[in-house]
C-alpha cells in the first residue's frame, strides 16, 4: 500500500512552491489509489506562526486536496521522539557538543548544507547539560539515493556533512531526526518533496538504517524560484495563490510539466483534478534543482 504525505512547516501561508509539493505528492499517491497524509512540522517553535496551521488546512481544502485520517502534529510526538532518541543514544554513536555557531564559522569548512562538522567535541565526553546539543557520528561509507526524479546521488556523510545534530541545544529534536521517526510512525512508503531537501536525504537514510526503519522511496521535485531565489513562506510573495483554484491547479501542472487538456477551461475543479490524477506522469518532471516561475 502506497502511503505518501505532505509535511508543511507552519511558518506562514502556503506559497506557490508549497502547492507544487502538495499537488505532486497528492497526485502521485492518488494515481495508485494510495493514501495521502498531512503532517504539520511544528516542532521548531521559533519558526511556527500560530495562525498558519489553520490557514494551511483551509488552503488545502479550498484546492480539494483532502488528506486521509486526521492530520498529525510533530508537537504531539515528543514521547515517541524521546524513545527513539534513547535508542540511538544507546548505540554509543552520539555525543554532546558545545560548539557555538561562531566557533564553527571560524573553525569549520562550509559545505553544501551548513558547516561540515569534523568532530571537535567527539572525545570531550561532555557531561549532560541543558545547553549542549547531541550529534550523531557518521562514517565514510557513501550513501546512495536512487531518487525517482533526480536520479542517483551519492553522499559521503563524513566528508560532506560531518557528525550532525539530532537534538539541539534548546532541547528540541532536529528536523533530520524527527522526520525519520514520523516516517516510521506514519508507515510512509513514498516521499515527494522539494529538491532543497535532497541533500538531507542521506542523513535520513543513515538514521533510518540505524534504527532499522523501512526506507521510503524518494522523489525530489524542482523548487519554484523567482530570479533563482527560493520562494519562502515568510515572503510577501503570495500573488500566485491569489488566483482561483482552477488556475492554481493548472499553473502547478504546467510547472510540473504534466499533460494539460485543451478543454481545461470548460472543466470544473473536480474534473481537472480527475484528469491530473489519471494522466499523472512523474517521469515528465524535470530533474532540475529549481525552475524559475517567470
Ligand atoms: N517541513 C518541511 C518544509 O516545509 C518539509 C519536510 C519534508 O517534506 O520532509 O520544508
Atom of ligand 1 nearest to the CA of 8: 4
| Ligand 1 centroid distance, CA of 261 (Å) | 31
Cα separation, 240 vs 119, whole angstroms: 44
Cα separation, 41 vs 48, whole angstroms: 9
* pLDDT of 234: 61
Closest C-alpha residue for ligand 1 atom 7: 7
Q: Which residues pair with 129 in a beta bridge?
A: none
46: left (phi over 0), alpha (psi -120 to 50) or beta: alpha
| Ligand 1 centroid distance, CA of 7 (Å) | 5
* pLDDT of 232: 75
* pLDDT of 22: 98
* pLDDT of 52: 95
Cell of 96: 554532546
CA distances from 270 to 29, 51, 62 (A): 17, 28, 12
Q: Which of 4, 5, 8 has the most ligand 1 atoms within 8 A of CB, as the residue to mutate?
A: 8
Residue 34's closest CA among 60, 2, 63?
Answer: 2
| Ligand 1 centroid distance, CA of 8 (Å) | 5
Residue 94 CB coordination number (10 Å) = 17
Q: Which of 42, 183, 188, 194 has the most ligand 1 atoms within 8 A of CB, as the residue to mutate?
A: 194
Atom of ligand 1 nearest to the CA of 21: 8
| Ligand 1 centroid distance, CA of 70 (Å) | 18
* pLDDT of 195: 97
* pLDDT of 129: 66
Q: Quote the distance between the C-alpha of residue 178 and its chain's center.
A: 11
Atom of ligand 1 nearest to the CA of 18: 4
| Ligand 1 centroid distance, CA of 123 (Å) | 33
| Ligand 1 centroid distance, CA of 269 (Å) | 26
Ligand 1 interacting residues, C-beta cut-off 6 A: 7-9, 41, 179, 193, 197
CB 203 within 8 A of CB 269: no
* pLDDT of 231: 82
In tens digits, the chain (294 residues) has pLDDT values of 999 999 999 999 999 999 999 999 999 999 999 999 999 999 998 999 989 999 999 999 999 999 999 999 999 999 999 999 999 999 999 999 999 999 999 999 999 999 999 999 999 988 766 689 999 999 999 999 999 999 999 999 999 999 999 999 999 999 999 999 999 999 999 999 999 999 999 999 999 999 999 999 999 999 999 888 888 766 655 555 667 999 999 999 999 999 999 999 999 999 999 999 999 999 999 999 999 987
3 state SS of 148: coil
Atom of ligand 1 nearest to the CA of 11: 4
Is the alpha carbon torsion for 240, 241, 247, 249 positive or negative? positive
* pLDDT of 238: 56
Which residues contact residue 123 at a Cβ distance below 8 angstroms, ignoring those fewer than 6 apart?
none
Amino acid at each position: 500500500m502506497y502511503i505518501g504525505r505532505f509535511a508543511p512547516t507552519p511558518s506562514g501561508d502556503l506559497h506557490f512552491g508549497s502547492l507544487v509539493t502538495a499537488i505532486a505528492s497528492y497526485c502521485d499517491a492518488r494515481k495508485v489509489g494510495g493514501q495521502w497524509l498531512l503532517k504539520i512540522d511544528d516542532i521548531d517553535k521559533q519558526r511556527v506562526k500560530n495562525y498558519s496551521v489553520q490557514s494551511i488546512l483551509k488552503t488545502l481544502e479550498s484546492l480539494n486536496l483532502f488528506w486521509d485520517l486526521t492530520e498529525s502534529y510533530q508537537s504531539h510526538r515528543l514521547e515517541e521522539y524521546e524513545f527513539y532518541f534513547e535508542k540511538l543514544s544507546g548505540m554509543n554513536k552520539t555525543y554532546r557538543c558545545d560548539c557555538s555557531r561562531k566557533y564553527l564559522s571560524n573553525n569549520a569548512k562550509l559545505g553544501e548544507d551548513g558547516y561540515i562538522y569534523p568532530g571537535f567535541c567527539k572525545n570531550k565526553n561532555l557531561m549532560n547539560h541543558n545547553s549542549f546539543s547531541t550529534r550523531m557520528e557518521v562514517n565514510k561509507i557513501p550513501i546512495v539515493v536512487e531518487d525517482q526524479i533526480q536520479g542517483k546521488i551519492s553522499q559521503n556523510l563524513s566528508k560532506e556533512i560531518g557528525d550532525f545534530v539530532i537534538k539541539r541545544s534548546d532541547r528540541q529534536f532536529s528536523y533530520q531526526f524527527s522526520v525519520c521517526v514520523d516516517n516510521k510512525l506514519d508507515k510512509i512508503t513514498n516521499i515527494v518533496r522539494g529538491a532543497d531537501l535532497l541533500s538531507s536525504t542521506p542523513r535520513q537514510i543513515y538514521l533510518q538504517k540505524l534504527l532499522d526503519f523501512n526506507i521510503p522511496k524518494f522523489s525530489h521535485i524542482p523548487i519554484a524560484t523567482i530570479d533563482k531565489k527560493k520562494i519562502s513562506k515568510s515572503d510577501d510573495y503570495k500573488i500566485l495563490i491569489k488566483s482561483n483554484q482552477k488556475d492554481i491547479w493548472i499553473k502547478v501542472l504546467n510547472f510540473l510539466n504534466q499533460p494539460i487538456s485543451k478543454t481545461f477551461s470548460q472543466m470544473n475543479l473536480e474534473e481537472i483534478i480527475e484528469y491530473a490524477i489519471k494522466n499523472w506522469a512523474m517521469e515528465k518532471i524535470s530533474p532540475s534543482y529549481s525552475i524559475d516561475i517567470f
